[in-house]
Amino acid sequence: MYDVVIIGSGPAGYVAAIRASQLGLNTVCVEESSDSDGNSQLGGTCLNVGCIPSKALLDSSHRYSDAIKHFSDHGIEVNKPKLDIAKMMDRKSKIVNQLTLGVSGLFKANKVTQVLGHAKIIDSNHVEVSSKKGSEILETKNIVIATGSSPINIPVAEINHKDIVDSTGALEFKTVPKKLGIIGAGVIGLELGSVWSRLGSEVTILEAMDEFLPMADKKIAKDVFKEFNKQGLNINLGCKVTSALSNKKDVTVTYENNGNLKELMVDKLIVAVGRKPNTDNLLGENCGLSVDEKGCIPVNDYCETNVQNIWAVGDVVRGPMLAHKASEEGIMVVERIAGKHAEMPYELVPSVIYTHPEVAWVGQTEEDLSASGIEFKTGSFPFAASGRALASGESTGFIKVIADKKTDTILGVHAFGPSAADIVQQAVVAMEFGASAEDLGLTIFSHPTVSEALHEAALAVNGQAIHIGNRKK
Ligand code: FAD
Ligand code: NAD
């Protein structure tokens, strides 16, 4: 009898499995994906076809476009760089392999048992695992569902894995498409659109909604829209795609925009319209679990399902589909199984879009706070006024700190600019400790760093920023 069976080895499952073993729980992790040698392919979406390969390509493409567009600003003249896509893809695959093998090594070091196969929950103490070798029943005291998510398919643009692809296919193009279409101006559309645009594609994004990045700060969304269009992502809002037809040469996308029927011809089309929870053949008839209207497994704040001893974490449950949220939920759950006190500060899950410049935020927006009737004050600082940002030629964007009007407690931090992800992370730490804008203002920041923009924005909340004209709020 195991203490815990974890289903799925993505950032939710593998992290939970390692922590469970550290806590002395007899742990097994079931994963259905296998590699070419027939071993478990650990790491889930994030390591194999998500966070890591996309960031490898974002970094490679950034260097390429930097060499073409910005080296000469620094007085460095180079001949036009030559692109070796096969080598770029090979580099990406090596990084993925290194990390997935790393998880396998960590499982061995932590004595996590690995089982290859598709898991189905029979009841709160039994999981059936089916594979080419047959099926077996695992007996357990607890079950943690960490089965993740998959791309949503839309019938008007069926994936053919050739010229109409999902995010996985978009990480594997063998040549740079001359014309690239993307359905969906969400995180994947912007990140992978940036990759291929930097490498030379003419990119057109068709977004159904009239609003761009509705979850972000309004001013940031406006600036990001302007900047990315300037960079070559032609983002079109309010577009209803009605068909995408592929012939051997290209793809014709038909869509409605402002009452007009329009056509777009592209070499490749990426469908990036969101992801759906993985629950196919997972919930046995008598296990007592079902999914909600979004396909998620319903859980409370502690990731407990309605069945005792069955828990669910990561992309398969409500909330943002983010690797760090998935991992922290996994850790919380196994700590609770081990009898420890653990909870998730959901309000402090940061979000990042790894474009250039980056977009990042944590906490609430002005719109959220106004809607809840909470009075607030704000301080902003433009990267154009940061010495370090100017020195590196990266002065686009700004950072905003929002604090409670009376208590000065920081309620949200929103950034668009150089190293926005790392700067906002500093705010996450401060907010975790309940910091006020004054606390951040009293903190010493190294000079010259782009992080000083956070310091100045925090000072600006109370009209004390040094390097901009202040306006007391
Ligand atoms: P997953 O990573 O999806 O893992 C679930 C695992 O469960 C899979 O390995 C699957 O094979 C296995 N499984 C499913 N069903 C069964 C079953 N019945 N039996 C056995 N095994 C099963 N997030 C970020 O935070 N930062 C990023 O930069 C980022 N970039 C991304 C880029 C792309 C292109 C994509 C697609 C996603 C990105 N994400 C990013 C999202 C991130 O990948 C997910 O939020 C994260 O992987 C979710 O982790 P998870 O463990 O819940 O699920
Ligand atoms: P998303 O939800 O971020 O964006 C999907 C977009 O597609 C939305 O703007 C939506 O309005 C639009 N859309 C939906 N249906 C459409 C249609 N029929 N026609 C046109 N537009 C349509 O989803 P995504 O970009 O596919 O990413 C999936 C998930 O992966 C996200 O939840 C995200 O959190 C995660 N992810 C995170 C990162 C990161 O953290 N940096 C990177 C990539 C992916």
Give every CB contact of residue 299 below 8 A, 6+ residues apart in sequence.
305, 311, 312, 313, 317, 318
C-alpha of residue 17 to centroid of ligand 2, in Å: 28
Residue with tokens 């097994």: 28
Please indicate, yes or no, whether the overall pTM of this predicted structure exceeds 0.95.
yes
- Taking CA atoms only, the protein residue closest to ligand 2 atom 14 is 273
Helices (H), 300-353: 323-337
Establish whether the linkage from the previous residue to 11 is cis, with ω within 30° of 0.
no
Closest to 414 measured CA to CA, from 341, 451, 343, 364: 364
Report the C-alpha gap between 266 and 249 in whole angstroms: 9
- What's the one-letter identity of residue 199? L
Residue with tokens 């069926």: 158
282 CB near ligand 1 (under 6 Å): yes
**Using one digit for the tens of pLDDT, what is the confidence trace for 80-114?**
999 999 999 999 999 999 999 999 999 999 999 99
Strand order in the sheet with 358-363: 351-353, 358-363, 410-417, 398-404, 376-382
Q: Are 233 and 210 in contact (CB under 8 A)?
A: no
Residues of the chain with pLDDT under 70: 470-473
Give every CB contact of residue 466 below 8 A, 6+ residues apart in sequence.
456, 459
10 CB near ligand 1 (under 6 Å): yes
Q: Are 236 and 181 in contact (CB under 8 A)?
A: no
Q: Which helix (H) or strand (E) is 397 found in, with range?
A: none
C-alpha of residue 292 to centroid of ligand 1, in Å: 19
Mind telling me the catalytic residues? 447
**Using one digit for the tens of pLDDT, what is the confidence trace for 241-292?**
999 999 989 999 999 999 999 999 999 999 999 999 999 999 999 999 999 9
Cα distances (angstroms) measured from residue 73 to each of 63, 66, 417, 459? 14, 10, 19, 32
- Taking CA atoms only, the protein residue closest to ligand 1 atom 16 is 147
Helix 13-22, helix 323-337: angle, nearest 10: 30
- Taking CA atoms only, the protein residue closest to ligand 1 atom 15 is 147
- What's the one-letter identity of residue 175? T
- Taking CA atoms only, the protein residue closest to ligand 1 atom 47 is 46
Ligand in nearest proximity to the CA of 9: 1
Half-sphere exposure of 168 (CA within 13 A, CB side): 16
Going along the chain from its start, the domains and CATH numbers come out as 2-151+276-347 (3.50.50.60), 164-273 (3.50.50.60), 357-461 (3.30.390.30)
Report the C-alpha gap between 50 and 315 in whole angstroms: 13
Report the sign of the C-alpha dihedral through residues 207, 209, 212, 214, in that order. negative
Ligand in nearest proximity to the CA of 147: 1
Euclidean distance between the first and final Cα of the chain, in Å?
62
Cβ atoms within 10 Å of 245's Cβ, excluding its own: 13
C-alpha of residue 345 to centroid of ligand 1, in Å: 21
275 CB near ligand 2 (under 6 Å): yes
Ligand in nearest proximity to the CA of 100: 1
272 CB near ligand 2 (under 6 Å): yes
358 CB near ligand 1 (under 6 Å): no
- Spell out where 335-457 has E strands: 351-353, 358-363, 376-382, 398-404, 410-417
358 CB near ligand 2 (under 6 Å): no
212 CB near ligand 2 (under 6 Å): no
Best of 159, 168, 275 for a ligand 2 pocket test (most atoms within 8 Å of beta carbon):
275
Report the C-alpha gap between 115 and 17 in whole angstroms: 12
Closest to 13 measured CA to CA, from 25, 30, 1, 33: 30
Ligand in nearest proximity to the CA of 315: 1
Report the C-alpha gap between 83 and 176 in whole angstroms: 10
169 CB near ligand 2 (under 6 Å): no
**What pLDDT does residue 70 have?**
94
Best of 15, 31, 47, 51 for a ligand 1 pocket test (most atoms within 8 Å of beta carbon):
51
C-alpha of residue 189 to centroid of ligand 2, in Å: 7
57 CB near ligand 1 (under 6 Å): no
Report the C-alpha gap between 473 and 282 in whole angstroms: 54
